[in-house]
Amino acid sequence: MLRDPAVSGQFYPASKKQLIREIEKYISKKASKEKILGIVSPHAGYMYSGETAALTLSKAELPDNIIILGPNHTGAGARFSIMAHGIWNTPMDNVNINGELAEIILNKTSLIKEDEEAQIYEHSIEVQLPIIQYLKSNFRFVPIVVSYGDIKQYQEIGYAIAGAIEDFEEEVLIIASSDMTHYESSETAKTKDNLAIESILKLNEAELFNRVRKYNISMCGCGPVCIMLAACKKLGAKHAELVKYTNSGEATGDFAQVVGYAGIIVK
């Protein structure tokens, strides 16, 4: 299956030349590259969160294999959906799905289902790809769309992904696509988001899950981040670092109703 862009021309430019110009405004060409196990990267329109995403992804020594976990905004498809075969098209070029790694993941847990319906119109994974393509010309990836679950399910999926990576025996980066608090004041968003970020920096997915529920934090990618943290810890992660935190008010000037964006690396 060829998966065509769903938000090209909306979240980012549809023209390759314009897209490259847009990404070059945000990318850090001088960033020191590190071997990173996991990343939290936002997925709003590039004018809002592109800089945070680009600065964070710029810090990674990007491997040939990447897993991208994104929340399900459309409600379509399986609750935990993987597209195991096919090609994703972006204005930059085509990206092949890593079918071998996807099949290993499917064999590790019954929670994840092979499903294309959840993937076709979901933007949270798509918007990561052009920035990665700018930074690395050749890679394969596995897209996994995550709907609501409990912490035990997220941990099971995370452990399955870690086991699959160990079996795959090649370096794999796990990206969790997530925006933070939605449509609250800048002050309230920062307070709530700091609680979530604190848990991520502690590599504590259970605390993150509980805080999101307790404090009503409208972080859309809580599930993907919990899964990423569980997987990375199984793979030996010991440290996390906040690269950048901002909100949409920095772009619009409206600080009364913002969306928060955090870029975090896990090593």
Confidence of residue 31 (pLDDT cuts 50, 70, 90): confident
The residue segments making up the domain with residue 15 are 2-266
Kindly report the CATH number assigned to the domain that includes residue 6.
3.40.830.10
Mean predicted confidence (pLDDT) in 223-234: 98
Domains held by the chain: number: 1
- Model pLDDT for residues 179-206, shown as the tens digit of each residue: 999 999 999 999 999 999 999 999 999 9
Q: Which residues pair with 82 in a beta bridge?
A: 114, 144
- Model pLDDT for residues 216-228, shown as the tens digit of each residue: 999 999 999 999 9
Q: CA separation (Å) from 247 to 31, 131, 133, 250?
A: 22, 19, 25, 6
